Every structure is written in structure tokens, then in C-alpha cells.
Amino acid sequence: MEDSDDVRGLARAVLEGAGYKVLEARNGTDALLYWQQLSPTVDLVLTDVVMPHMDGVELADALANKCPELPVVCMSGYTDQVESIRRLQERGVMCLQKPFTPVSLSSAVRLALDG
């Protein structure tokens, strides 16, 4: 889940290049709807922290209530989101600083999946 077309496209290209199947959402509301429809086939959620309609923290909270074992990786480029990121990390959510490299994104996803 990422509202920036460029960042979302880059993440998709990197992850598909690493062999993952990627579903895209522009906001948390859409991501939650996708998850509700496809939950058995979703192995991980990658989300930006700052998003319109439902931010990444709200999405992570909603998913944790529905499926606590689902790995979530959050991304943030905002240094003022320290409290939100700290809260996510305390719950075991991996957080990735933007801008990220293809290697750091792939590594974060792999680590989260390996749990």
C-alpha cells in the first residue's frame, strides 16, 4: 500500500523481480478490502505509514485484530513519525526507512516472511 505511484511502481518492480506476486493498493481502505477478499492468498502486507483515508498504523492495527500472524512491513520517509514507528516496532512490525534500496526492500520482506 503506497499512495505515490512512483514508489508503488518501484516496490512492485523490485518485489516481482525477486519472485513475489504483488497486489497494489493506493490507500488503507483499498488495502483492507483487498485483504478481506483475498486473505488466504496474502502472505505479507507492505504499507506506507502516512497514507490518505487509513494510514499504515491503522491498517496494521486492523490486520493484527483480524490476522495477528500476518507479517506487516511499514515504510516511512517522515522523521516526525517516530512515535508511530516505535509503536509498530514494539508489536513486531518491521519498519523500512524511505528512500529504500532494492536490496533493503527485498531483505525486509524476506525477513518478515521468515519471521
Domain boundaries, the chain: 5-99
Q: What's the CA gap between 29 and 53, in Å, rounded? A: 6
Residues of the chain with pLDDT under 50: none
Per residue in 81-114, pLDDT (tens digit) is 777 778 888 888 888 989 999 999 999 999 999 9
Phi-psi region of 68 (alpha: psi -120 to 50; beta: other; left: phi over 0): alpha
Q: Which residue spans within 14-63 are E strands per DSSP? A: 45-48
Q: Residue 46: which H helix or E strand, with range? A: strand 45-48
What does CATH list as the number for 5-99? 3.40.50.2300
